[in-house]
């Protein structure tokens, strides 16, 4: 049907900014949202710094009723609802409270887990023979689709309401799933995004894997160092990002602000074959994902002005850059600008793709490329492939037409999406 698909609303709960205004200001100024966490210190984690949205009780009460907050203990749902409703309102859409669902709107809102702290609370009550004191919302808070269910109810969505889950590729995949559903004519708009829980029960497994940064516990803002020679692992994070995605005709008809257009993308897997594994990407699959995304979008590799990479601040950063150079056939000064939001937010896991996609869209809409903090000492393997001028340390003002965003996740799964500056 070849419907053009656009983004008309944005919402975010990120470690360095809750709300689009605060988040935009933070990424332009290079503000880190990474802080020391006394809980992790007390629990003797190697990595004691995290990126976590700062949510006040006052802000919670704007999105949840007093009754809903009674016994509520799911940070992932909290972040997702805040981001999702902000995106809905940012798109100029109203929230109707009547008997008729909005049959033309749905949500695909991803999550890695849901309500880990609520699970823990429930387990203790069950073990203490207090099953009747679990409360009426424990199922909704702990089911993986809890975030989409909450959003579907609050917004009265009558089309598909679902949750996807593909590790760190979740958010980018959700946007592409929404794009496909709109293109097929099954829905006019989708609230797409992803969320990720906070807390030691989420981050503990990664700390045990020794993949997290432990060298900067006393200087948290310096801890997340994508593409840096002194990178010491990723900083765990959390939050949520949400985008309202619509077919162009519907958006224009209601006079919506259009932030960017989605040209297409691709998702695939390396099958944990070759150099791929549960925790490492198959390079052939990564390159195929990128080249297929470009092909599906009807552009050439030379059309890409900038890349918002996955780039987690691990030993795989150099490999990711190498994969981009091979997929694009571009190196040195011919390589697009590239940045990683994780230098400011840490790795928000299942929320990473959606939060980072919002950063990519903002760059297109407001004509800038945000800087990569903490990588003054670029890794020599990266310098051998890409000219340092293409990895800005501070925000630069520049008009980009096309930005590629990619996410790679545990299980050897990949997603790449192509965003374009909107032009009628």
Q: Say yes or no to pLDDT of 192 above 70.
A: yes
Q: Say yes or no to pLDDT of 1 above 80.
A: no
Give the model's pLDDT for residue 136.
65
Q: Say yes or no to pLDDT of 310 above 60.
A: yes
CA distance 125 to 113: 20
Per the DSSP assignment, residues forming a β-bridge with 102 are 157
Mean of the per-residue pLDDT values of the chain: 95
Q: What is the mean pLDDT of residues 195-219?
A: 95
Q: Which of 124-128, 167-171, 199-203, 341-345 is predicted with the least confidence, judged by mean pLDDT?
A: 124-128
Per the DSSP assignment, residues forming a β-bridge with 325 are none
Looking only at the bridges linking them, the beta strands covering 306-308 and 337-339 are parallel
Q: Which of 57-71, 132-146, 201-215, 382-396 is predicted with the least confidence, judged by mean pLDDT?
A: 132-146
Gyration radius from the chain CA atoms: 20
CB 96 within 8 A of CB 123: no
Q: What is the mean pLDDT of residues 101-107?
A: 97
CATH 3.40.47.10 in the chain, residue ranges: 5-253, 264-420
Is the CATH code 3.40.47.10 the one for domain 5-253? yes
Give the model's pLDDT for residue 150.
96
Q: What is the mean pLDDT of residues 186-192?
A: 98
Sign for the CA dihedral angle at 170, 245, 359, 291 comes to: positive
Give the model's pLDDT for residue 131.
63
Is the CATH code 3.40.47.10 the one for domain 264-420? yes
pLDDT, greater one: 397 or 424: 397
DSSP letter, residue 278: S
pTM: 0.96
**Nearest-5° angle of CA 69, CA 142, CA 14?**
65
Confidence of residue 128 (pLDDT cuts 50, 70, 90): low
Give the model's pLDDT for residue 122.
62
Give the model's pLDDT for residue 98.
86
């Amino acid at each position: 049907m070849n419907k053009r698909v656009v983004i008309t609303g944005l919402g975010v709960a990120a470690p360095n900014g809750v709300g689009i205004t605060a988040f935009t200001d933070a990424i332009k100024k290079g503000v880190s949202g990474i802080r020391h966490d006394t809980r992790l210190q007390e629990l003797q984690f190697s990595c004691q710094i995290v990126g976590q949205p700062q949510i006040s009780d006052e802000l919670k009460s704007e999105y949840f009723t007093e009754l809903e907050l009674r016994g509520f203990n799911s940070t992932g749902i909290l972040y997702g609802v805040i981001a999702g409703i902000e995106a809905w309102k940012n798109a100029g859409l109203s929230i109707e409270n009547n008997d008729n669902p909005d049959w033309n709107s749905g949500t695909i809102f991803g999550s890695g887990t849901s309500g880990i702290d609520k699970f823990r609370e429930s387990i203790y009550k069950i073990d203490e023979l207090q099953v009747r004191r679990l409360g009426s919302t424990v199922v909704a808070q702990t089911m993986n689709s809890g975030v989409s269910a909450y959003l579907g109810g609050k917004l009265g969505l009558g089309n598909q309401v679902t949750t996807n889950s593909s590790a760190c590729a979740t958010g980018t995949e959700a946007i592409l799933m929404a794009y496909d559903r709109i293109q097929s004519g099954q829905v006019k708009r989708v609230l797409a995004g992803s969320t990720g829980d906070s807390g030691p029960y989420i981050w503990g497994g990664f700390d045990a894997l020794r993949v997290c940064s432990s060298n900067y516990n006393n200087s948290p803002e310096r801890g997340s160092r994508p593409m840096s020679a002194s990178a010491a692992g990723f900083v765990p994070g959390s939050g949520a990002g949400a985008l309202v995605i619509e077919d162009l005709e519907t958006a224009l008809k209601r006079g919506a602000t259009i932030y960017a257009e989605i040209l297409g993308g691709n998702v695939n897997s390396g099958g944990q074959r070759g150099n791929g594994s549960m925790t490492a990407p198959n390079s052939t699959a990564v390159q195929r994902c990128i080249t297929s995304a470009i092909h599906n979008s009807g552009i050439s590799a030379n059309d890409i002005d900038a890349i918002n990479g996955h780039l987690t601040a691990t030993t795989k950063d150099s490999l990711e850059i190498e994969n981009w150079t091979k997929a694009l056939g571009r190196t040195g000064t011919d390589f697009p600008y590239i940045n990683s939001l994780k230098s400011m937010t840490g790795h928000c896991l299942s929320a990473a793709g959606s939060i980072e996609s919002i950063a990519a869209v903002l760059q297109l809409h407001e004509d800038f490329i945000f800087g990569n903090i903490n990588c003054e000492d670029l890794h020599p393997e990266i310098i051998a492939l890409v000219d340092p001028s293409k990895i800005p340390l501070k925000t630069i003002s520049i008009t980009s037409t096309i930005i590629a965003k990619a996410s790679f996740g545990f299980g050897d799964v990949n997603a790449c999406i192509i965003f374009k500056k909107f032009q009628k």
